[in-house]
Each structure stands twice: as C-alpha cells, then as structure tokens.
Structure 1
Amino acid sequence: MRATSAVTIGVGATAAVVVGALVQATGVGSAGTGLGTALSMSVPAEYRPLIEEAGNTCPDVSPNLLAALITQESGFNPKAQSPAGAQGIAQFMPSTWESHGIDGNRDGKRDVWDPEDAIPSSAKYLCTVAEEVKDVPGDRQSNMLAAYNSGSSRVIAAGGVPDIDETQNYVKSINALTKQPGGGKTATSTQAETAVNAAKGEIGTPYSWGGGNANGASAGSCCSPNGSSGSSVAGFDCSGLVLYAYAKAGISLPRTAAAQFAASEPVTPGQMRPGDLVFYGSSAASIHHVGIYVGGGWIINAPKPGTNVRYDPMDMMTDLYSVARPVPSKEI
C-alpha cells in the first residue's frame, strides 16, 4: 500500500544491479551513529558534500539520517524510478516534487533527477513533515519518517506510525541504519561459520510463522499473509532462523527480514561467502524472505508454512534483492 502524498521507496530494479540470479545492492550499507552533525555513514564520495550540508537543514535532520534515508530510497542511484512513478535519488512522486522540490544548486530549474536539487529537497521535506507531526505522541524521528513515507495526515490520524506494513518497515529500516556502529565492521568469517553450523543443526525443524528467537525454536503467532498460524508449532520462520543462528555467533540481529537487511552491509557476488544473508523482495522496505548462504548457490532457510528448515537454491524466488553481511550491534 502506498500513500499518494508521500515519497515512494525505490524498488530493487533501480536500487540494485542484476547479476544472473543474484541482485547486488548498489546502496551503501556501512554504519551510522544516529542523530548528530557528523557524517559517519559510508556515502559515495560525489554525494558526501551534499549530504553533509543538507543534513543540517533543521534540528530534526542529521547527515547520517539523511544518508540512511537516501540509501533506503534508491541506494544513491540518481536514475532510480519505481513502478509507482517515484523518481530520482530521493524517489519523489511528481506531485510531491511539484510542491516541495527546490532548486538546490541555484541553476534556475528544479530537476528531480539532479541530486544537487533532490537531496536538499529531501532534507527540506523531512523538516516540513517533522514540523507537521511535532505534536504527535511517540518517537519524534519515527513519526517524521512515517510522515515522509505515508503522509503527515496518516501519522496524525493514527497518533503515531500508522499500521501500514510498508511504512512500519520503512521506519524500522532507516532507524536501524542510523544506529549501526561506525565503520561498517561486519561479521567475521568465524562468526559466519558458527551461524551456518547453527542453522545446519536445525535442518528438519518445522516452519512456524513468527517462530524462533535467540534461544532456538519457539511457538509462533498468527497469522501469515495466507492465514497460517504458527501459534501451535514450535519452530522457525525465515528471520527467526537467522536471528537464532547469528545469536549463537554472538551477533544480535533485529527480528524481521527487512530490519535484518538494514542491519547488514551489501556484498558483491565476488565477495560472497558462507554465512552471508540472501534477501528477497522488490525493495529494501518490502523484503519478505531471508536465507543463509552456504556456498555453491545454495541457502539454508525456513521457506514457508507446511515445510521444514532445509537447503534451497538461492534462485528459489524470482525477486532476489540482495546479499548482505550482518554488522554486529554495539550492544553485543
């Protein structure tokens, strides 16, 4: 579901490069430290000055937050275009650009395809919606991001982040990006091997929607999109298996597949190694499945209700979005 007044999230086809069955994310995935005036996230060199300047447009926006948002929207792809019609590096819908786009480089025109216009416009729009939802209860940053994605009116009506899956995943993903530790230090090969072995030890464990935690298999919840309940089954869903496997390696990951992607750093096909996470979806916010790469084009995963944890080819689904490596949390 997509709000008509909001900026649309960039889709995988524009935020990634297809290499055979593998989709390689071109967005940066290294770390940020949340709010603050310094930029610690990894940003393509040509965009760093723009992010650093625009990221200080108002007190509610920081360079790291703006960098995380652009990473989420387009992976810093200035030619990104979504099926819904969102355009450019900041994925503005034409109507939103018409009312909120600015001439950032003062060349006499407002060009949604020009990062020198689109990035400052994105920051300005964030400041605008932050002001519009400033009196809404809850976390101010989350409400601002939700308003950017789904429109201020929805946030005001809901009294916080609205109950829209895409918007909730969007907010969680960007917040996770801004909270990653500086430097983008990813899981070591030893930690990855431990995670793979932990997942192998669960081969044959039943799938359970919402099942699995850091301690192992558990009863899940109701209900999956097709109505399947995991409340009576002790097992794992896809992200529950990943959470457990990496907990055994001493790495704490978020619960959902989309949030796990936001807490990981994309890798190129030539850099893939066992333990990397394979994500499926049309965009970072719409990621719906994750598996653990074991080599040779295969993953371990908890596929769907009615199945068990098993090996599958990584091209098991047609919407393979990215392969990424977990970034350990500071809390570990």
Structure 2
Amino acid sequence: MRKKKSWLGLLLLVPFGGFLIFVVAMTALIAATNPLNLLKNGLTNVAFNVNAVPAQYRSFVAETGKLCPEVTPTVVAAQIHQESGWRPDAGSPKGAYGLSQFIPSTWKTFGGGAPQSDPRANILAQERYDCHLAGEVRKMQAGKYGTCVMEMHGKVYTKPGPKAGEMRGEVFDLMLASYNAGPGAVCYYRGIPPWEETQGYVPGIKNLMSTYSAPQAVSAVYTGNDKTLGGRAVNLARGSIGKYPYSWGGGTFTGPSEGFAQGAGIVGFDCSGFVRYLFHQASGGALKLPRTAGEQARVGQRILSSAGPPSKAEEAKMQPGDVIFFTSPGGSIGTGATHHTALYVGNGMTINALKTGTVIREDPFSQFSRRDVWTVQRYAVHTTAQA
C-alpha cells in the first residue's frame, strides 16, 4: 500500500463575483500530509501529529525537521515505528541497535559521540543520516557520486557511478531505500534495489507516515447552494463533454490551449490540464494544482489505492469530484509512471481527456487498465472569514 497523503488547503479569502463563496472549515485544520509538498508552503511541522508518538519521545522527534526538505518529524516517526517499534533496546541479527537501528560503524559517524542506547541521540542521528543520504542521492542524480560500492552475501561489487539522468526515482524514495539497503546498493542498481525487503520498505514508510500526521481536514462548502468543490468541478466537467479535443500539453488554468508534440496545432486539454482547469475554475481561482498527473497525485487527501479498479466497498468511500490517477505496474505513484488522470463522477463513471483523437468524454471504469495501480485523491480549499 501507498501512504495516505493529503494536502492543506490554501488559507485564502476567495471573492467570486463580489461575494465570499466559501465558508470556514476549521475544526480539523490539516490532513495526513505529503511532507515534501507541505514543506514548499512552510507548513510541514504543522502537519505532524506529535500525540501519536510515545510520550517519552515526543519532544525529541519534534526537534527534527530542520536539516533538509526530505526529513520531517512525520518521516522520522514513521521510520522509528518501522525500524524498532519504539523499542530503545531493539537489535537485529546484522548488529543494528537502538530506536533507529544503526550499525556500529554508521553510529560512530552520525551518533555525535553519544551512547547508542540514548533515545534522543538516536532520533537526531537518524535525521542527520537521512539528510546525508538525501545529499548522496542528489550527487547520484547529478552524475557526481563516484564509484558505487555494494556488499552482498559477503562479496563486494563495484560499478562506475551513474551519469546524470541515469537514476530512477525521486530523492525521497531513494533516501529511504538507502537507509534500508545502503547508498552503494541504490547507486549500483540506479534506483531502489530489486530486493523484497527494500521494495517493501519505501512504501511501508510512506504508509506509516499517515499514523503520525495531523487529522483529516473537512472540505469547504459553497454558500447558498451547499455544493462541494468536487461537485462544482463535476458540473463544469459535464458542461465540457464533447466541446474540447485532446491535446498533448494543452490546457491552462483558464481554458483550452494549443499543445505541443502530438498536440501541436490542437487547441484543447490533456488529462492533467483538464483536471487543473476544472479545480481552478471550481474554486474561483483559489486552487492552483500542479501541471502533470504525477505532480497532481502527490497533493490532496489520499482516499484509496488499489491494484486495478476499486471494489464496490472501496468505491463507496469515493465522492463525485474525486480524482483518479493511473500508475503503470511497478512504477512509483506521483512520478512519470502516473500516466493518466480522470475525474470521478459517481457510479463507476469518469469524465476525462483520454487520448489523441478523442474529445472530453464520459468513460466507465472498464475503459481503463486493470493492470494499473489506481489511486484516488480529494482536493479542498479552506478559507478564512473576511475581516
């Protein structure tokens, strides 16, 4: 499973036609969050649910999140949960010890001279080591890492360092993989190593992060007609059916546009351009989603993730206006492997810009690949009352 992720809505006053069109939705301010997205808004630490951490460690975990953008208190807590289950005396057959499961040689470098049994030292060393690994990954991505050295089954394997562009995966995922398998293995395989433990470790941490994130926010509603943001997006999408052709790269916040490559000369929308347009217009200009399907899949509240279309029980969790993302088998959600998106309108139906040669249209779930990983995001915009 993938981590459930969601997004803190914009705290904005949104005038629409001279009137405030949203009401305050503040009882639960922020949701289980992708910390990398929130960091860009300076809100990462707000999303941390410190009460989910065992009481004796709360102040220590709350100290983290200041060294690099990839490491937040939520990330640190999820890793400790996975590594030791919050047991300061935990050990492993490989010689790892403590809350953060350092092996002695790594502890000597990152432990700051403290005893390895010291919980606070473990937590702060974990942040330092994670940020060090994130830096190593960036070197790999830039082609500046040097030689890859990996030890496996008692043998040492080496390979020239990767060239710029050879690494597969994002810094956050590769940082986690490096913590589990070592940066040499990540370098050697040019991505997450094909080892069952490491393949499960990265999504496992992401999933656990929801445990240590703040409560889910409620969606804002429209005044007057009481329609949700998603409902307004659905109504706008229905009015677009048959009007606009698919155009690769086409679509702006305000309407259709000429695309590029196979979309050159075609004024219309591609799948993510259409979704971005819908929610910008439905929010009165307040909500500005990222441009690509991969980027859009990393913001918002994660409703579910399933291999193939959701079951009836899973679909019952969805609301019209939720957005479905399709990721190729074996790919990472929220990357280039997330290749399509469609607006859910209820009863197993979607409205989407499907492919070149089609127009905006309504398609059933059966139109989409059962081999893909389907993830569902929900967007919201939160506003304050006008002063």
User: Is the aligned partner of 1:191 residue 2:229?
Assistant: yes
User: Is the aligned partner of 1:129 residue 2:133?
Assistant: yes
Q: 1:169 to 1:314 in 2, by over 3 A?
A: farther
Trace 1:202-221 onto structure 2 (pairs within 5 A). Answer: 202-204=240-242, 205-221=244-260
Aligned counterpart for 1:153 among listed residues 136, 140, 144: 140
Shift of residue 301, structure 1, vs aligned partner: 0.9
Aligned partner of 2:282 in structure 1 is 249
Shift of residue 154, structure 1, vs aligned partner: 2.3
Shift of residue 330, structure 1, vs aligned partner: 8.0
Please give the alpha-carbon distance, in whole angstroms, between the structure 2 residues aligned to 1:289 and 1:45.
Answer: 35
* TM-score where L is the length of structure 1: 0.59
Aligned counterpart for 1:273 among listed residues 297, 311, 319: 319
The answer on whether the counterparts of 2:300 and 2:379 sit within 8 Å (CA) in structure 1 is: yes
Shift of residue 40, structure 1, vs aligned partner: 1.9
Shift of residue 199, structure 1, vs aligned partner: 1.4
Aligned partner of 1:326 in structure 2 is 379
Please give the alpha-carbon distance, in whole angstroms, between the structure 2 residues aligned to 1:234 and 1:214.
Answer: 14
Shift of residue 109, structure 1, vs aligned partner: 2.5
The answer on whether the counterparts of 2:234 and 2:321 sit within 8 Å (CA) in structure 1 is: yes
Please give the alpha-carbon distance, in whole angstroms, between the structure 2 residues aligned to 1:60 and 1:187.
Answer: 34
- For residues 18-57 of structure 1, give each alpha carbon's deviation from its aligned partner in whole angstroms, at most 9, with x where no partner exists: xxxxxxxx52422465257845246993689879745645
Shift of residue 215, structure 1, vs aligned partner: 0.9
Q: 1:113 to 1:314 in 2, by over 3 A?
A: farther
Aligned partner of 2:311 in structure 1 is none
Please give the alpha-carbon distance, in whole angstroms, between the structure 1 residues aligned to 2:46 and 2:97.
Answer: 22
Q: 1:68 to 1:107 in 2, by over 3 A?
A: closer
Please give the alpha-carbon distance, in whole angstroms, between the structure 2 residues aligned to 1:266 and 1:168.
Answer: 21
* Aligned-partner SS, 1:258: helix
Please give the alpha-carbon distance, in whole angstroms, between the structure 1 residues aligned to 2:255 and 2:69.
Answer: 38
Structure 2 residue runs of 5 or longer lacking an equivalent are 7-30, 102-121, 146-163, 175-205, 222-226, 305-313
Shift of residue 290, structure 1, vs aligned partner: 1.0
Shift of residue 325, structure 1, vs aligned partner: 0.3
Which amino acid letter does the alignment assign opposite residue 142 of structure 2?
Answer: V
Aligned counterpart for 2:100 among listed residues 117, 137, 156: 117
Aligned partner of 1:307 in structure 2 is 358
Aligned partner of 1:262 in structure 2 is 298
The answer on whether the counterparts of 1:196 and 1:275 sit within 8 Å (CA) in structure 2 is: yes
Please give the alpha-carbon distance, in whole angstroms, between the structure 2 residues aligned to 1:232 and 1:203.
Answer: 20
Please give the alpha-carbon distance, in whole angstroms, between the structure 2 residues aligned to 1:309 and 1:112.
Answer: 58
- For residues 97-143 of structure 1, give each alpha carbon's deviation from its aligned partner in whole angstroms, at most 9, with x where no partner exists: xxxx9x9834233789999537968634432135x47xxxxxxxxxx
Shift of residue 61, structure 1, vs aligned partner: 4.0
Please give the alpha-carbon distance, in whole angstroms, between the structure 2 residues aligned to 1:192 and 1:198.
Answer: 10
Please give the alpha-carbon distance, in whole angstroms, between the structure 1 residues aligned to 2:96 and 2:274.
Answer: 40
* TM-score where L is the length of structure 2: 0.51
Aligned counterpart for 2:346 among listed residues 276, 282, 295: 295
User: Is the aligned partner of 1:232 residue 2:268?
Assistant: no
Structure 1 residue runs of 5 or longer lacking an equivalent are 1-13, 16-25, 71-75, 79-87, 91-100, 134-146, 223-228
Q: Percent identity, aligned pairs only?
A: 27
* Aligned-partner SS, 2:228: helix
- For residues 248-299 of structure 1, give each alpha carbon's deviation from its aligned partner in whole angstroms, at most 9, with x where no partner exists: 1112211111221221102253331110011111432332211100000111
Aligned partner of 2:332 in structure 1 is 283
For the aligned residue pairs, the C-alpha RMSD in angstroms reads: 4.7
Which amino acid letter does the alignment assign opposite residue 45 of structure 1?
Answer: A
Which amino acid letter does the alignment assign opposite residue 301 of structure 2?
Answer: E
Structure whose CA Rg is larger: 2
